[in-house]
Structure 1
Amino acid sequence: MKRTTLSLIAGTAALAAITGFATLETPDASGAAVPEAAAQLPVERTSLLCPAPSLSDIAETSYTSFTPVTKGTKGDGKAELKPVTEVSADGTGDPGKGKGGKGGKKNGAEPVLTPKEPGTPATGDTSGSDTPALAGTAEGKPAPGWTVQETTSIAAGTARGLQGVTCTAADTEFWFPGVSTAADRTDYVHLTNPDDGAAVVDLDLFGKDGAIKSTVGEGITVPPHSSKPVLLSTLAGDPQSDLTLHVNVRSGRVGAAVQALDAKTGGDWLAASGDPADTLVLPGIPKDATDVRLIAFTPSDSDADLKIRLASSDGLITPAGNETLRVKAGMTTAADLGELTRGEPGSLVLTPGDQSVPVIAALRVTRGKGDKQETAFIPATEPVGARATAVGNSAKGTTLSVTAPTAAAQIKVTASAGSEGGTPVTKSFTVKKGSTQDIEIPAPSGLKGTYALTVETVSGGPVYASRTLTVTQEGVPGFTVQTLPDDRGMVAVPQADQDLSVLQR
């Protein structure tokens, strides 16, 4: 279920609890006044989950938390980010491994970080292979638009490079096009359960010939307040390079993210693709990408014929030799787009042919050459909408890419104060129709520490964005890309009036 749907249900339930019954006024034939539009109000509670960062003993992980300043918030509120662990009811158990059972309760572990006031990032660090998954909750003032970034640097080994993931909310369904069980890949899906009851999850893989038959991924139980990594190669028979993973939660809810590790080209996190749609945007392909691979899948019973276009700095163009892509129903399809951007920033735009069929997609992007390569992923994403935020940015090695595929747009970009000091800066930009632009980031004056970038849509068509972090380690161009969908910091609350007449019926 989409988070917007959950928010509406929760909002309506809250109104009903306050008034007894909520009634919506509708205009009658006599020309009565049309009711006021639903009010946009800040959310009062946000929950996020961060997967366990690494199995490497030499992993260095940083967490950054940030809430943009939001008008209309009330009270002080609080937020914290703590290990996802469980102990038994008598206080015993193994909190480091998330063990426990019915009747368990969360332990009293110390927070990894404590978020600061809205407008200022907070950071926390950890190292090694035993860092657990994290769960966080923000209430009141820190809740609207709360964003947490997990970034891990590994100097050597199978997982070498820079790995980054935006911590997300729990849900009941996820799609991951771009996973692999090839010999050089070690892919884990991390399932994190933040609730008091167990979650039951089905994992299904789809390859070039359709669904891969396996009973191993059926009915996986994730205990309360715990995280479980599942090696994807255990779900399949023969190795395959391009697969789509479907995470379907039978009961409860989980957070899900895939850690994709390559023995030759490093690794990164693969975030879930946006909901299946007939038009997709994959924003922010680095201008120095040496290889781009598109992986697509349709859960529909019909084949999908997609038009492929690149939103370049000058507008939409059709890549030579890769004008279209046919995605057969229930089968994963991949296309090697090569050195697609050729020195300019770009975004991929997928649109339907003669028939509209919902699809999901992701890009596997490579930088560097030979034994100095590193990979990252860009899933299809939703627009920035009202506001989106990327955190964990540094003075160097940060790139913000924006694209407006259908119409020109005006955006506002704010660089927050630094985690250790600095003054926020805001600038406005125009994004040309069909173009992708690497924004000249307005770095905070007197910056100390890391800072957050907040993008707001002011006018015009929908804007899609991503943020790239880069760092070079022993000649290897490490990087990670995070997309910037709407932060859901505001929710529409319909006007409702108390109707006490129902008590007399």
Structure 2
Amino acid sequence: MNRSTISLAGAVAALAVLTGAAVVSGGGDRDTAPVASAARLPVQRSNLLCPAPSSSEFANTTYTSFTPQGTAGATGSGSAQLVPATPKGKALTPLKAAGKPATSSTDKPDAPALIGTADGPLAPGWTVQQTTVVDTGAGRGLLGASCVAPDSEFWFAGASTGPDRQDFLHLVNPDDTPAVVDIELYGKDGLLKASTGDGITVPGKSAKPVLLSTLVADKAQDLTVHVVARSGRVGAAVQAIDKKLGSDWLTPAAEPATSLVLPGIPADAATVRLVVYAAGSDDADLTLKLATPTGSITPAGHETLHVKSGMTSAVDLGDLTKGEAGSLLITSSQVHAAVPVVAGLRVTRGKGDKQEMAFLPATPAIETRSTVADNRTKGSTLSLVAVGQDASVKITASAGSSGGEPVSKTVSVKAGTTVAVPPPLPESGKGTFAVTVERVSGGSVYASRTLALPLDGVPMFTIQPMSDDHGMVDVPAARADLGILNH
């Protein structure tokens, strides 16, 4: 048997082991053999990456790690651990069991980025929330982010190199080998010429912050950032610090699409600024609608938006929600060739020197389940919007980090409306808790969580989009077919 034949046989054997569903057959008619359907199985391993929280001496950061209970087929023992992306540093308190959050905190200005791994029954739906309060000085504000899975591409709408902003792109490499990353910045006139944005190397098991204003000479108020790993994979997030409006994280936006949903604009939003990038080869003509608690309406004066190809457009929507929670729905109005776009919102609350900002990117639908950690007894609000058809969702509050029992309730959401509700509280719960949203029936559901922690008259808040946790995957059935060795 020659080398290629050995390699082929090895590949077949490896596929059989990986799928766990292979059937070895020594003969028979391949054309008449039954075809097994794909199995729906829980993921066996999850990776999450958390950026360095803050360099401020006035920052205090809480990490909350959580895996939902009850994932079908998740059995055995497992672990979920966050370790520093530096040669030195201590691991955080590990998550020991599904259904109960594990928390850690730090007030060190040199707190590192973290690399997380969960396996076994703790892998499906594992989520980590990073919440930072900077109570004074530069960057004063509440910064919240759900730590991200490593990937090769990210989009961010709403970054800036303006004179009042200091935005850092944080890159984290979870692997042993270096990752090489390209950073593209798109402004109102298209791609900005970057002096050092191509071929940035992030060493293995490490993190690298990149100040966006050092990449380009342009002082652009509104930017779309495109991060592409030409080799390896990374986690990415943008930390935005504004001299007047506080600070928060821009988390990755949904991939370019011809229709987008930005769920959960707070009812008391003082200003809403929309940033959109046209990713197609043609200009994008967009229709805007606001999904309110009673139905979808067209924002007065902002019915449509034209975005030139390869360029970023921004528009101030003012106090869009008028005292009622809402969600922005964006669709391409082209009849023949709809153009994909990337979108995000900057939302402010408060007045004068007591303002605070947060960011809300376009968010993928919850196909099955999504979880957000670090909810408090007061200050957490879930926003749910249904598109296409009425929908029903199950909301579950986990046990608290210091005890208690989970509580669930079912909520109905009419098509084209936004439902904003406080999550149920754990029974006799103490400490922070996680909230899981499961789509039960009906149309597509989009969601976010707003966490409000007012401090000294500043309405500090942060918004976390809730994407599907992809805790279950389709694993195709496979069978070793030794007949191919005769070809």
The answer as to 2:115 corresponding to 1:135 is yes
Residues 20/324 of structure 1: CA separation in 2 closer, same or farther (3 Å cut): closer
One-letter identity of the residue aligned with 1:55:
S
**Are 2:138 and 1:152 aligned?**
no
2:437 is the counterpart of 1:436: no
Match of 2:234 among 254, 264, 277: 254
Task: Tell me the distance in 1 between the aligned counterparts of 2:18 and 2:230.
Answer: 32
Look up the SS of the partner of 1:195 in the other structure: coil
Q: 1:48-102: per-residue Cα shift (whole Å, max 9, x none)?
A: 000000010110000000000112112111111110114xxxxxxxx4xxxxxxx
Work out the percentage of aligned pairs sharing the same amino acid: 56
Change in 2 beyond 3 A, CA 1:444/1:13: farther
Deviation at 1:240, TM superposition (A): 1.1
Contact 1:349–1:405 at 8 Å: present in 2 too? no
Equivalent in 194, 200, 214 of residue 174 of structure 2:
194
Tell me the TM-score normalized by structure 2.
Answer: 0.93
Instruction: Please tell me whether the aligned partners of residues 284 and 338 of structure 2 are also in contact (alpha carbons under 8 angstroms).
Output: yes
Letter of the 1:79 partner, please give it: A
1:159 is matched by which residue type in structure 2?
G
| Equivalent residues of 1:470, 1:480 under 8 A apart | yes
Say whether the 8 Å CA contact 1:157–1:263 is kept in structure 2: no
Q: CA deviation at 1:381?
A: 0.9
Among 428, 448, 459, the alignment partner of 1:466 is 448
State the distance in 2 between where 1:377 and 1:291 align.
12
Partner of 1:294: 274
Q: 2:383 aligns with which of 392, 395, 401?
A: 401
Q: Does 1:330 align with 2:310?
A: yes
Corresponding residue of 1:420: 402
Q: Structure 1 residue 500: deviation in Å?
A: 2.8
Amino acid in the other structure paired with 2:356: E
* Aligned counterpart, 2:41: 41
Q: Give the C-alpha shift of residue 22 in structure 1.
A: 6.4
Offset at 1:215?
Answer: 2.6
Alignment partner, residue 178 of structure 1: 158
Could you tell me which residue of structure 1 aligns to residue 207 of structure 2? Answer: 227
In structure 2, distance between residues paired with 1:14 and 1:186: 49
For 1:20 and 1:383, locate their aligned partners in 2 and report how far apart those are by CA, in whole Å: 30
2:86 alignment counterpart? 85
The residue that corresponds to 1:89 in the other structure is: none
The counterpart of 2:218, out of the listed 231, 238, 263, is 238
After TM superposition, the score normalised by the length of structure 1 is 0.90
CA distance in 1, matches of 2:96, 2:414: 36
Choose which of 98, 101, 104 in structure 2 pairs with 1:118: 98
Q: CA deviation at 1:20?
A: 11
Deviations 1:234-287, CA, capped at 9 Å, x for gaps: 112131100111111111111100000001010100001111100000000000
Provide the residue aligned with 1:66 in structure 2. Answer: 66
CA contact (8 A) 1:222 1:228 kept: yes
1:339 & 1:52 partners in 2: Cα distance? 33
Q: Flag the 1:130–1:426 CA change in 2: closer, same or farther, 3 A.
A: same
**Shift of residue 40 of structure 1?**
1.1
CA distance in 2, matches of 1:325, 1:61: 39
- Return the alpha-carbon distance in structure 2 between the equivalents of residues 34 and 338 of structure 1: 60
1:57 maps onto 2:57 in alignment: yes
Say if 2:345 is the partner of 1:390: no
Uncovered stretches (5+) of structure 1, i.e. residues with no partner: 1-11, 25-30, 87-94, 96-108
The answer to whether the Cα contact below 8 Å between 2:244 and 2:353 also exists between their aligned partners in 1 is yes
Given that residues 19 and 476 in structure 2 are in contact (C-alpha distance below 8 angstroms), is that contact kept between their aligned partners in structure 1? Answer: no
Structure 2: how far apart are the matches of 1:14 and 1:73? Answer: 22
How far, CA to CA, are the matches of 2:252 and 2:34 in structure 1?
40
Give, in whole Å, the separation in 1 of the partners of 2:63 and 2:170: 18
**Would the aligned equivalents of 1:198 and 1:221 in 2 still touch at CA under 8 Å?**
yes
Deviates most, 362-371 or 237-246: 237-246
Query: Cα RMSD (Å) of the superposition?
Result: 2.0
- CA deviations 1:326-367 (Å, max 9, x no partner) are 110011000100000011110000011123111000000000
**CA distance, structure 1, for counterparts of residue 138 and residue 385 of structure 2:** 33
Deviation at 1:399, TM superposition (A): 0.4
2:56, 2:138 within 8 Å by CA — same for their partners in 1? Answer: no
Structure 2: gaps of 5 or more residues? 1-11, 25-30
Alignment map for 1:437-452 (pairs within 5 Å)? 437-452=419-434
| Total equivalences in the alignment | 468
CA distance in 2, matches of 1:35, 1:456: 31
Q: 1:23 to 1:324 in 2, by over 3 A?
A: farther
- Quote the Cα distance in structure 2 between the aligned partners of 1:330 and 1:397: 39
Shift of 1:423: 0.9
User: Displacement of 1:18 after TM fit?
Assistant: 5.0
> Do the aligned partners of residues 320 and 160 (structure 1) sit closer, same or farther apart at CA in structure 2, a change above 3 Å counting?
same
Separation in 2 of the partners of 1:181 and 1:13?
53
Distance change >3 Å, CA 174–CA 64, structure 1 → 2: same
- 204 and 418 in structure 1: CA distance in 2 versus 1, 3 angstrom threshold: same
Q: Given that residues 313 and 436 in structure 1 are in contact (C-alpha distance below 8 angstroms), is that contact kept between their aligned partners in structure 2?
A: yes
Residue type matched to 2:428 in 1?
A: G
Query: Which digits, 9 at most, give the CA deviation of each residue in 1:142-187, with x for residues without a partner?
Result: 0000000000001112211110010011111111110001111000
Change (3 A) 1:249 1:120: same
